[in-house]
């Protein structure tokens, strides 16, 4: 293994000079720098990560804890992860993958052992058991999602309340008066997942403000449950003309079920989804939707973390504004 002293000898300088060339923490004459860089290249030198972490108390590794539980849409998680890794690399950091199952103990382990410098956690519950730990860890962290009490924490997410509002406003502007929210599976609400609740709140509040007839229906993410719910909706709410879906896997099955029941989409029933753009675009018909900006959330989570690592003060809360894209699944309701 080639080490810093080998490079130093080869370039005719001291080890510290090599170190400073690499870190840029003090100015080096152009010629020495070039000579050192040439030696580094020739010898194929790579600083030893462990030695560097020991000497500098910086590992240049971030922890990313991902959810792998039910009710979470996997492709969205992967897109977050990709954005996090890619952005971390652009800051010369690597990413250590933790599963949600590792819980608080996992976070403590990688933080206390100095394996990572900072942490990103996804799928934050309103009353998440990891919160006290993250506050006391002594290492920067960023939460993707908002807990009930975010004191002393840095959070980022799509503004789900505004997203629900945008969906409903869109339907109301088209003239819909009787609307329903088809939500995530009941277990998601049971464990008090922030984004799911915020959608429900935003929906309810906006419906009230706009004076709409509104109902809220959590739903398992299976085709059968979607069919069952459609049957129920048709029976219970004969005047229903607008549906907001916040449950990726069943968005399309739901449309299918309405069509099987003889309802045209968007002729008789308009559907608006909160889901990734690809899901909305691939659907038949393409769905009007508010996108979940996974890439942007992941990228900005890392940027926030880097700011904190550099000692900057960063905003405690970042709510990304929703963007609604009108597609073929929504239109004015048929005149009675």
Quote the CA–CA distance of 215 and 91 in Å, as a whole number: 46
- Rounded to the nearest whole angstrom, what is the least distance from the CB of residue 217 to a copy of itself in the complex? 21
Among 7, 8, 85, 126, binds a copy of itself (CB under 8 A): 85
Please check whether residue 309 is in contact with residue 325, taking contact to mean a CB–CB distance below 8 angstroms. Answer: no
d(CA 72, CA 315) in angstroms, rounded, equals 27
**DSSP code at position 319:** E
β-sheet with 242-245: strand ranges across: 213-217, 178-182, 242-245, 270-274, 288-290, 324-325
Partner from a copy of itself, DNA, none binding residue 16, C-beta < 5-8 Å depending on class:
DNA
Between 281 and 300, how does the x/- string for binding to a copy of itself read (CB under 8 A)? -x-x----------------
Residue 66 backbone dihedrals phi, psi, to 5 degrees: -105, 145
Site string for DNA, 5-34 (x = CB under 7 A): x------xxxxxxxxx-xx-xxxxx-xxx-
Q: Which does 90 bind (CB under 5 to 8 A by kind): DNA, a copy of itself, none?
A: none
b/e sequence 60-86, b meaning 16+ C-beta within 10 Å: bbbbbbbbeeebbbeebbebbbebbbe
Nearest distance from C-beta of residue 252 to DNA, angstroms: 52
Given a copy of itself, DNA, none, residue 4, with its beta carbon under 5 to 8 Å by kind, binds DNA
Write out the E strands in 183-316. Answer: 213-217, 242-245, 270-274, 288-290
Binding flag, residue 135, DNA (CB under 7 A):
no
Told to check if 113 binds a copy of itself by CB under 8 A, we report: yes
Cβ at position 43, least distance to DNA in Å: 11
Q: Is 264 in the site for DNA (CB under 7 A)?
A: no
Rounded to 10 degrees, what is the CA torsion of 193, 195, 198, 204? -90
39 touches DNA (CB under 7 A) = no
Among the listed residues 51, 74, 148, 190, the single contact to DNA using CB under 7 A: 51
Give the number of other CB atoms < 10 A from CB of residue 161: 21
Give the residue, chosen from 38, 41, 42, 48, that forms a contact with DNA under the rule CB under 7 A. 48
Q: At what angle do helices 160-174 and 194-210 cross, to 10 degrees?
A: 30
Is 114 or 223 the residue whose CB approaches DNA more closely?
A: 114
110 binds, among DNA, a copy of itself, none (CB under 5 to 8 A by kind): a copy of itself
**Does 278 participate in binding a copy of itself (rule CB under 8 A)?**
no
Concatenated DSSP letters of 195-220: HHHHHHHHHHHHHHHHT-EEEEE---
| Between 97 and 323, CB nearer to a copy of itself | 97
In the list 38, 41, 42, 56, the residue contacting DNA (rule: CB under 7 A) is 56
Q: What is the DSSP string of 75-120?
A: HHHHHHHHHHHHHHHHTT-EEEEEEGGGHHHHHHHHHHTTS-SEEE
Q: Does residue 61 touch a copy of itself according to CB under 8 A? A: yes
329 binds a copy of itself (CB under 8 A): no
The binding site for DNA (CB under 7 A) comprises 1, 3-5, 12-20, 22-23, 25-29, 31-33, 45-48, 51-52, 54-57
């Amino acid at each position: 293994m080639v080490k810093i002293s080998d490079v130093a000898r080869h370039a005719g300088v001291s080890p510290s000079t090599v170190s400073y060339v690499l870190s840029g923490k003090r100015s080096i004459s152009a010629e020495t720098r070039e000579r050192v860089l040439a030696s580094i290249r020739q010898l194929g030198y790579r600083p030893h990560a462990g030695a560097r972490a020991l000497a500098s108390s910086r590992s240049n590794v971030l922890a990313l804890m991902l959810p792998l539980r039910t009710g979470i849409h996997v492709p969205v998680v992967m897109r977050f992860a990709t954005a996090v890794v890619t952005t971390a690399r652009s800051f010369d950091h690597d990413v250590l993958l933790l599963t949600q199952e590792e819980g608080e103990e996992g976070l403590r382990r990688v933080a206390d052992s100095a394996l990572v410098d900072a942490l990103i956690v996804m799928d934050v519950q309103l009353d998440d058991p990891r919160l006290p730990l993250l506050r006391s860890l002594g290492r920067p962290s960023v939460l993707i999602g908002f807990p009930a009490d975010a004191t002393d924490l840095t959070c980022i997410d799509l503004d789900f309340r505004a997203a629900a509002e945008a969906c409903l406003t869109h339907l109301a502007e088209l003239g819909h008066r009787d609307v329903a929210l088809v939500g995530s599976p009941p277990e998601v609400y049971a464990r008090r997942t922030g984004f799911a609740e915020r959608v429900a709140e935003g929906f309810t509040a906006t419906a009230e403000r706009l004076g709409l007839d509104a109902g809220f229906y959590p739903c398992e993410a299976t085709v059968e449950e979607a069919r069952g719910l459609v049957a129920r909706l048709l029976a219970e709410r004969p005047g229903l003309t607008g549906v907001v879906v916040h449950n990726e896997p069943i968005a399309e099955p739901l449309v299918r079920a309405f069509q099987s029941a003889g309802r045209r989409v968007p002729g008789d029933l308009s559907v608006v989804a909160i889901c990734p753009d690809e899901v909305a675009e691939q659907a038949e018909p393409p769905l009007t939707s508010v996108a979940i900006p996974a890439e942007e959330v992941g990228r900005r989570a890392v940027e926030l973390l880097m700011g904190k690592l550099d000692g900057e003060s960063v905003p405690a809360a970042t709510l990304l504004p929703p963007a609604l894209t009108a597609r073929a699944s929504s239109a004015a309701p048929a005149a009675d």
